[in-house]
Amino acid sequence: MKTRAALPLLGLLLAAAFLASLAFGELRLGPMQVLDALVGRGDSLSRTIVWDFRLPRTLVGLAAGAALAASGVVMQAFFRNPLADPGLLGVSSGGALGAVAVLALGPSLGLAAASIWTLPVASVAGAFVATGAVILLAERGAGTERLLLSGVALNALLGAGTSFLLTISAGHFEVNAQILFWLMGGLENRSWEHVWMGVPIILLGCLLLLPMGRALNLLSLGEQSAQSLGVDVRRLRRRLIVLATVLTALATAIGGIIGFVGLVVPHALRLVFGPDHRRLLPYSMLGGAAFLLACDLVTRLFPIGLRLGVVTAVVGGPFFLWLLRRAR
C-alpha cells in the first residue's frame, strides 16, 4: 500500500475513534453535540458528560494505546524478534504487580492517599524489575522460544505475587475490586487525575522515540553491525529500554494490564506498510491509540461485562496464534 496515504489514513481513523469514544455510552450524543461540548457550547448535560466523564477516559485510552504499541515496536527491534511484546514478556505484569502492591499494602502502610504519583511510580518500578529480568533471562537476539519461555516464567512469577496480594487483601472488598481492575485492564471511571498521571509523560516518551527510527532500523538487523555502521549501540539501547519500560508502566498504571496491543498493532502495520521504523513508530502510535479506543468502544456498545483486556485478548489471541503458525 502507498505509504504516503498511511499518515492521513491513520490520523483519520484515530479522529473517528476519538469522536466515537466521546459520542457513545449510556447516553448517546450526536457528532455535533460532541463538537459543541468540546468547545464549551451546547447544553450543560452533554458538556458534563463529555468533559467530566468521556474525555478523560478517551485521553487515557488514546495515550495507553499509543504507549503500548510504541513500546511493542521498540521491544521487537530491541530483542530482534517480531514476537516480542510488553505483555508477553512480563513487563506489563511487573507494572501491574507494582500497582497492585500499592493498592493492597498501601492502606496498612498509610500510602494510599499519599499522592497521585504513588501508583504510577510503583508501576514504573515494578516494570523496570521485570524488564531487567527479561534482559537477563533472554539475551538480545535470543530465539523466539527462549524469549517467550522467559516471558512465560516471568508472567507466572509476577502473577503469583499478584495473586498472593489479592488473597491477603481478600477481606477488603473495595481493594479487591480495584486489584481485579488492574488485572483485566479497563478505562471505566477514568478521571482527569489519571490523565495527568500518565498522559503528559507518555506524550513526551513518544516524542523522544520518534527520532530514533533510523537507528532502530540498524539495531533491528543486528547489534554488532549497527555498532560497526556508526550507531552508539550502548547509549541507544539504554534509552530504548528506559522509554519502552516507562511507556508500558504508565499505560499499565492508568489502564491496567492490556495485552496484545503492542504485538498486534505494530505487526499489522508492518505487514501493510513495511518494516521501516521511521514510519512504523508514528504509525503504531496512531494505530495503537485508535485500536485501543475501538476496543474500549466495544466494551461500551455491548455492556455484557466485557473488559478492555478481554476484548484486546479476543482480537489479539487468534492473531498471535496465526503469526506463530506463519513464522518460518
CA separation (Å) from 285 to 80, 84, 105, 214? 20, 17, 34, 17
Q: What crossing angle do the helices spanning 55-78 and 261-273 adopt, rounded to 10°?
A: 70
Cα torsion for 211, 215, 217, 220, to the nearest 10°? Answer: -130
Which among 25-33, 101-109, 224-232, 306-314 is the span making contact with other proteins, rule CB under 8 A? 224-232
Report the C-alpha gap between 140 and 77 in whole angstroms: 10
Contact between 217 and other proteins per CB under 8 A: yes
> 240 or 258: whose CB is closer to other proteins?
240
User: Out of 23, 218, 251, 254, which residue is the one contacting other proteins (CB under 8 A)?
Assistant: 218
Which among 28-36, 49-57, 189-197, 272-280 is the span making contact with other proteins, rule CB under 8 A? 272-280
> 233 or 246: whose CB is closer to other proteins?
233
- C-alpha angle 81/86/87, rounded to 5°? 115
User: Out of 61, 72, 82, 86, which residue is the one contacting other proteins (CB under 8 A)?
Assistant: 82
Residues 82, 76 contacting (CB under 8 angstroms)? yes
Contact between 275 and other proteins per CB under 8 A: yes
Report the C-alpha gap between 92 and 128 in whole angstroms: 10
Q: How many residues does the chain have?
A: 328
Question: Is the CA virtual torsion 130, 135, 138, 143 positive or negative?
Answer: positive
Contact between 229 and other proteins per CB under 8 A: yes
Grid coordinates 518494516 are at which residue?
A: 275
Which among 3-11, 92-100, 220-228, 285-293 is the span making contact with other proteins, rule CB under 8 A? 220-228
User: Out of 26, 39, 173, 224, which residue is the one contacting other proteins (CB under 8 A)?
Assistant: 224
Contact between 230 and other proteins per CB under 8 A: yes
Cβ 83 to other proteins, closest distance in Å? Answer: 10
Which among 94-102, 214-222, 296-304, 316-324 is the span making contact with other proteins, rule CB under 8 A? 214-222
Q: 317 is written with which cell numbers?
A: 489471541
> 80 or 172: whose CB is closer to other proteins?
80
Residue partners of 161: CB distance under 8 A and separation at least 6:
97, 101
Contact between 267 and other proteins per CB under 8 A: no
Q: Contact positions toward other proteins, by CB under 8 A?
A: 77, 80-82, 214-215, 217-218, 220-222, 224-225, 227-233, 270, 274-276
